[in-house]
Structure 1
Amino acid sequence: MSWEKELQELALRKELAARMGGEAKVRRHREGGKLPVRERIARMVDPESFREVGALAGSGEYDAEGRLTDLTPSNLLIGRAKVQGRPVVVAADDFTVRGGANDGAVGDKLVEAERMAQDLRLPLLRMVDGTGGGGSVRNIEIKGHTLLPKLRMWPLMAQNLATVPVVSLALGSVAGLGAARVAASHYSIMVRDTSQLFIAGPPVVARIGQNLDKNELGGSDIHTRNGVVDDEADTEEAAFAQARRFLSYLPRSVHELPPRAAEPGRAGEQEWLRGAIPSDTRAVYKMRPIIETLVDEGSFMEIGKRWGRAVITGLARIDGWPVALFASDPYHYGGGWDGPAAEKFTRLLDLAETFHLPVVNLVDVPGFQIGLNAEKAGAMRYGVRALTAVAQSTVPWCSIIVRKAFGVAAGGHQSAGRFNFRYAWPSAQWGSLPVEGGLEVAYKAEIEAAEDPQAKMREIEARVRSLTSPFRSAEAFVVEDIIDPAATRQALEEFVELAAPLREPGPRVFGYRP
């Protein structure tokens, strides 16, 4: 018996599905500066590695004899592929078919993609372009009834965040569930000008009297500054490159360990670090060149650069080993933590804990931000959550105190409940309060009783400052070691060498955070 007829129909169905939304809609999509979904997948993953699942799903049209005459494919493509030789799961919206809105198969395919990533323990790449399964008003007439919101995929999405790396790329106007899928990831990217993210888009928002275009309402300039999205890219190709780079630092799942680079990396010239910190404690300096000098050349991938800017966060390698890196940025509030900085710190620490990344922390923290705005913004609540995350962390940790470490915020430079590596530079200074802010309180009566209060305060300050040298603290074993800044890379290499065997695969469970 020959199955030639069925094989011909199979080929026809695949041919019709490959048309996506049709020539006209694909052309308009390109004219809007966006790639068609199948081209996106081809450029994101390794050549010819994409194996589609559910390629035949969609809505068929038939003649009177029941023969297929046309097919509108599902507007969600899912499947398996490889990125830099490592397997991943891909879920990509097709905006050319019903604008990426829901059809009969999208919900099932969304669940299938999330479950595939979970059960195969593979990273998940989401390319979101549209509502991503949330449906449209047209569905009311098609179905004859309205649907009660039920996020069948959300339990799996939550499990995946605790199990496999999840990367989401917003590649068009994403709203509702599509926007939520972008935010519910370990790393998210928007494309400048061509992608937007909303709870509800401009036509809906206009009904409450806000007439805004798409970028004014939800462009990357908004969401990379508020922390909803981690980063932006100039082009889709650049976004794909950022996604590949992020995945390169992480294991396939929590059941494996982050891979070391094929060849150990080299660091830059270290000698200049001796003069990197100004002697004037009020002067700012650039932290990023210090980071780039200490880690393997070209390995630092900063994440969330435009929000929570008092803290620099990202992934890097030291001698080939991947690490999560934190650093203060004195150019923003002197490195003092506000709510967004603490939240950003917590997010990366959770990533490090989930995927077994050792932590390197370059410390210059004058404390939490102070003043009315900080109090109104709840800086203490976010700060306490960050400190609790530090106390709950179990990954190996190395802190380098490069300058200030004051107050409760600086107390979270590492967990006090276990052994950590810790070094200070000669430029370091620390205490419960900075000398500048604490003299007036601690010596109030003595200062007020003096004939010349200002002279008395200068006298007291000079006396107290003579005791604040980090070498005096080292005598009392307050700090384990003070090192030449030019020797920091050597100390970090020892840290990662000793930390690597301590990493243990498996899921992590965090306790309650206030």
Structure 2
Amino acid sequence: MTQSNETWLPEVEEIRRREQLAYGMGGPENIERQHAGGKLTVRERIAKLADPGSFAEVGALAGKAEYDEQGNLVSFRPANFVAGMARIGGRRVVIGGDDFTVRGGAADAAIAGKQVYAERMARELKVPIIRLVDGTGGGGSVRTQGTQGHTYIPANPGWDTVIANLSEVPVVAAALGSVAGLGAARVVTSHFSIMVKGTSQVFVAGPPVVEAGMGETVTKEELGGWEIHWRNGVVDNLAESEEEAFEQIRRFLSYLPQNAWEQPARAEPNDDPQRRDEWLIGAIPKNRRRPYRVRQIIASVFDRESFFEIGAGWGQSVVTGFARLDGYPVGVVANDPYHYGGGLTAQGSEKLARFVDLCDTFHLPCVNLVDQPGFVIGTWGEKAATIRKGALALAAVFQAKVPWVTVILRRVYGVAGAGHANTAGLNLRYAWPSADWGSLPLEGGIEAAYKRDLAAAEDPDALRAELMAKLGAVRSPLRTAHAFGVEHLIDPRDTRPILCDWVEQAYAVERHQLGPRLRGHRP
């Protein structure tokens, strides 16, 4: 076949030239300013997050171009949002990131369309989406309105897709700079969010707007730094550097399927499913007032070094995260007796509900290691609306369809204790010999039930001791087992073999109920 002397090579070369202009982002001066602030550029971030050479950009030529009268390109400012397909750990994902070197990450005519396109790509191709947020990402500043000559009624373009994605594909967001307004909303409307210590802040509006509107003068860090948002649950995790944030993102995704129509992939097992750690026989102190390190128990029960904690900075009486059993990913819920004795707080309730929804959405069977003394009581608990938020947590547990197993380490008390599983279902439970349960702990329950008797007694302390001895005799879990009030009493050392046997069946059961949950995921 002969080739014509007239080809499209000049046009292809012009495409390449303009791509190089886009790759220049906001120019050397703005790139240097980005680096001086301890931050990577958006293209450097994508290169570090994605598998090498896997990023295929969409809309690289989008931006603002100016031409002379002869139609020659005079200047080109790329859109400050970079998006495309990539691979992470060999899996296809969509990555979209703000370019702070172009107008500080604020919106221009092209950014909204590219953001929406990235969200639609993830939804229609049924792959995870990762948002690298570094700016406002909204509809534009007051300066933009002045240029347009008119204002507008606020709308969030593509937000229907953003919300729909929560029920269909894994959504990850990293706050990598000063993130405000719609940018902040994009961070929290996700399944996993992370910020970088010292270089990222998240707020509804930045310090200048706060000062003008509220008369409050604050720095960016005082307004929306990591010490605020890691502890209030606005973000899930914290990283010391952008590179660490990317590593956490990769690890988070490794436990999840590509979408709600698939199951999580089993990793190559690297631990003996029959392993029995001897120290577990004494892991729970016989003195009920003594705490213990629940994360050490998690490390022994699940595959070694497989636990990935989510939300360690807030709702600290509840521990949540992913782990593996014989290679199978599972969700882990536990109580930490070092915080409020493991009792369920308002924050802990919100954290529990959100995590259970996440596991249910993406078909991760759940293991609940229970030591629940009940809702945290007192004026502080009432002011925090603990019972309303606690009811939300119970609703999440009872609505979850994913296979669930409960291991009772110590206490199960009250309404909060009743939320250890969907007790109207199969309610698969294993209890350690340290288990202790009831409507109220005896220590407080005697004071309430025998208030008049104690008040009338000549020796209240003697009566209290007598009642403790009498009622304490029936608190043995063996007596509950006689009445079939608990299904299994086990040697703590057998916990891992039992769970490794359970998880295979759990995955077989969940295989029959794949697809999005009807209720949707709550952000």
**1:233-253 deviations in whole A, cap 9, x for unaligned?**
000000000000000000000
Q: In 1, are the aligned partners of 2:167 and 2:520 still within 8 Å (CA)? A: no
| Mapped pair 1:502 → 2:509 | yes
User: How do 1:34-45 residues align onto structure 2 when only pairs under 5 Å count?
Assistant: 34-45=39-50
In the alignment, what sits opposite 1:448?
455
One-letter amino acid of the counterpart of residue 418, structure 1:
G
In the alignment, what sits opposite 1:156?
161
In the alignment, what sits opposite 2:3?
none
2-structure distance, mates of 1:484, 1:49 = 49
2-structure distance, mates of 1:169, 1:450 = 62
One-letter amino acid of the counterpart of residue 389, structure 2:
Y
| Mapped pair 1:344 → 2:351 | yes
Q: What TM-score does the superposition give when structure 2 sets the normalisation length? A: 0.96
Pairing partner for 1:256 from 235, 247, 262: 262
| Mapped pair 1:489 → 2:514 | no
Q: In 1, are the aligned partners of 2:361 and 2:521 still within 8 Å (CA)? A: no
For structure 1, the residue ranges without an aligned partner over 5 or more in a row are: none
2-structure distance, mates of 1:214, 1:448 = 56
1-structure distance, mates of 2:313, 2:206 = 23
| Mapped pair 1:21 → 2:26 | yes
Q: In 1, are the aligned partners of 2:309 and 2:321 still within 8 Å (CA)? A: yes
Mark the CA change 1:161 to 1:375 in structure 2 (over 3 Å): closer, same or farther.
Answer: same
| Mapped pair 1:220 → 2:226 | yes
In the alignment, what sits opposite 1:179?
184
1-structure distance, mates of 2:139, 2:405 = 44
One-letter amino acid of the counterpart of residue 183, structure 1:
V
Deviation at 1:263, TM superposition (A): 3.0
| Mapped pair 1:244 → 2:263 | no
Deviation at 1:443, TM superposition (A): 2.2
Mark the CA change 1:512 to 1:351 in structure 2 (over 3 Å): closer, same or farther.
Answer: closer
Deviates most, 439-448 or 136-145: 439-448
In the alignment, what sits opposite 1:415?
422
Pairing partner for 1:135 from 124, 128, 140: 140
Pairing partner for 1:406 from 402, 405, 413: 413
2-structure distance, mates of 1:17, 1:449 = 85
**1:153-206 deviations in whole A, cap 9, x for unaligned?**
110001000000000011110000000000000000000000100100111112
Pairing partner for 1:358 from 365, 386, 400: 365
Q: In 2, are the aligned partners of 1:16 and 1:70 still within 8 Å (CA)? A: no
| Mapped pair 1:121 → 2:126 | yes
Deviation at 1:96, TM superposition (A): 0.1
One-letter amino acid of the counterpart of residue 349, structure 1:
V
Deviation at 1:511, TM superposition (A): 8.7
For structure 2, the residue ranges without an aligned partner over 5 or more in a row are: 1-5
**1:358-407 deviations in whole A, cap 9, x for unaligned?**
00000001000100111111100001111111111111111010001000
**1:127-163 deviations in whole A, cap 9, x for unaligned?**
0000023321210122111121111211000100000
1-structure distance, mates of 2:423, 2:390 = 16
Deviates most, 193-202 or 125-134: 125-134
Deviates most, 63-72 or 470-479: 63-72
2-structure distance, mates of 1:230, 1:102 = 26
User: How do 1:305-384 residues align onto structure 2 when only pairs under 5 Å count?
Assistant: 305-384=312-391
1-structure distance, mates of 2:40, 2:203 = 21
1-structure distance, mates of 2:451, 2:357 = 43
Q: In 2, are the aligned partners of 1:367 and 1:407 still within 8 Å (CA)? A: yes
Pairing partner for 1:108 from 90, 113, 116: 113
In the alignment, what sits opposite 2:292?
285
Mark the CA change 1:511 to 1:126 in structure 2 (over 3 Å): closer, same or farther.
Answer: closer
One-letter amino acid of the counterpart of residue 74, structure 2:
T
| Mapped pair 1:235 → 2:244 | no
In the alignment, what sits opposite 1:68?
73
One-letter amino acid of the counterpart of residue 39, structure 1:
E
2-structure distance, mates of 1:54, 1:248 = 28
2-structure distance, mates of 1:116, 1:506 = 19
For the aligned residue pairs, the C-alpha RMSD in angstroms reads 1.4
What secondary structure is seen at the aligned counterpart in 1 of 2:57?
strand
Q: In 1, are the aligned partners of 2:302 and 2:324 still within 8 Å (CA)? A: yes
User: How do 1:166-205 residues align onto structure 2 when only pairs under 5 Å count?
Assistant: 166-205=171-210
| Mapped pair 1:479 → 2:499 | no
Deviation at 1:269, TM superposition (A): 5.8
Q: In 1, are the aligned partners of 2:196 and 2:226 still within 8 Å (CA)? A: yes
Q: In 1, are the aligned partners of 2:264 and 2:329 still within 8 Å (CA)? A: yes
One-letter amino acid of the counterpart of residue 36, structure 1:
T
What secondary structure is seen at the aligned counterpart in 1 of 2:434?
coil
1-structure distance, mates of 2:521, 2:29 = 53
Q: In 2, are the aligned partners of 1:191 and 1:234 still within 8 Å (CA)? A: yes
Q: In 2, are the aligned partners of 1:134 and 1:178 still within 8 Å (CA)? A: no
One-letter amino acid of the counterpart of residue 34, structure 2:
H
| Mapped pair 1:4 → 2:6 | no
State the 4+ residue runs in structure 1 displaced beyond 4 angstroms: 266-269
- How many residues are matched? 513
One-letter amino acid of the counterpart of residue 247, structure 1:
L
What secondary structure is seen at the aligned counterpart in 2 of 1:79?
strand
One-letter amino acid of the counterpart of residue 485, structure 1:
P
Deviation at 1:457, TM superposition (A): 1.2
One-letter amino acid of the counterpart of residue 148, structure 1:
I
What secondary structure is seen at the aligned counterpart in 1 of 2:420?
coil
2-structure distance, mates of 1:334, 1:441 = 20
Q: In 1, are the aligned partners of 2:166 and 2:521 still within 8 Å (CA)? A: no
Q: What TM-score does the superposition give when structure 1 sets the normalisation length? A: 0.98
What secondary structure is seen at the aligned counterpart in 1 of 2:315?
coil
Q: In 2, are the aligned partners of 1:421 and 1:495 still within 8 Å (CA)? A: no
